[in-house]
Amino acid sequence: MNRLKKLFSNKNAEILNIYFTAGHPKLDDTVKIIDTLTQNGVDLIELGVPYSDPMADGETIQNSSSIALKNGMTLQLLFDQVKAARKISEVPLILMGYYNQMIQYGFDRFLADCQESGVDGLIIPDLPMSIYERDYKDFFDQYDLKMSFLITPETNNERILMADKLSSGFIYVVSKSSITGSAKAIDQSQKDYFRRIEDLNLTVPRLIGFGIHDRETYLTACDNSNGAIIGSAFIRAIDQAEVLESSIKEFVSEIR
């Protein structure tokens, strides 16, 4: 069974998804970070594929992506690192990248290498749902790769229901209309948005991301969905780390 599907079959609350950029802080840190997150009980790991022109990412993730590219990170190296990580971790791994990267690599080759290396799912923010359904869904099914679509406060109910229909992993609930990296508390307007989604009785698990940065925002996200995605706050923590493993352990324990 696909590891992501297995996760949601066995657990439906307080899921912790940690995002970091592959190849950052150092090129060979990817496997070490995956291993340490696994040892500290993280449920799901989202690997950012470094890209020169990311959408919606704030300064922290943009900077980590720039460093990873300067370090020499490539898609082929990332697949090699995922293969190495699979020798020591069975935590679901998903890639977050952009459509153009995959087209340049060759989409069929990309999906085949995802499957072969041990990737469980994908988030491709700039791939329209209609194009995915028309051109790619059958290939995702063939390679047993789960797709997760994003929704925002501006997404109307019709498109939310379409995301529910087409997402085979989870729905990524963007908590607010801004870039990643905010360190503010979740306000009432965001909670109203989460309630609107709840009232639609969606069938696919939901994880809330953007602005989740501490235990309080993590628990609020969990109260309104199946779990939370933390990215920028984690990247800042490992950026400042003297000992990577100790900083990761401390960060996860403070969230949980």
Candidate list 35, 46, 113, 120, residue with the active-site label: 46
With cut-offs at 50, 70 and 90, classify the pLDDT of residue 58: confident
Q: How many other β-carbons are positioned within 10 Å of the β-carbon of residue 102?
A: 22
Residue 56 has pLDDT above 80, yes or no: no
> Active site includes 133?
no
* pTM (two decimals): 0.94
Q: What is the residue whose two structure tokens read 């997402």?
A: 167
Note the pLDDT tens digit of each residue in 162-217. Answer: 999 999 999 999 998 755 555 677 889 999 999 999 999 999 999 999 999 999 99
Residue 67 and residue 174: Cα distance in Å, rounded?
25
Candidate list 57, 113, 120, 164, residue with the active-site label: 57
Residue 119 has pLDDT above 80, yes or no: yes
Residue 57 has pLDDT above 90, yes or no: no
| The pLDDT value given to residue 131 | 97
Taking Cα atoms as reference points, which of 140, 127, 222 lies closest to residue 173?
Answer: 222
Fold (topology level) of 3-255: TIM Barrel (3.20.20)
| The pLDDT value given to residue 183 | 61
Q: How many C-alpha atoms does 143 have within 13 Å on its Cβ side?
A: 23
> Active site includes 158?
no
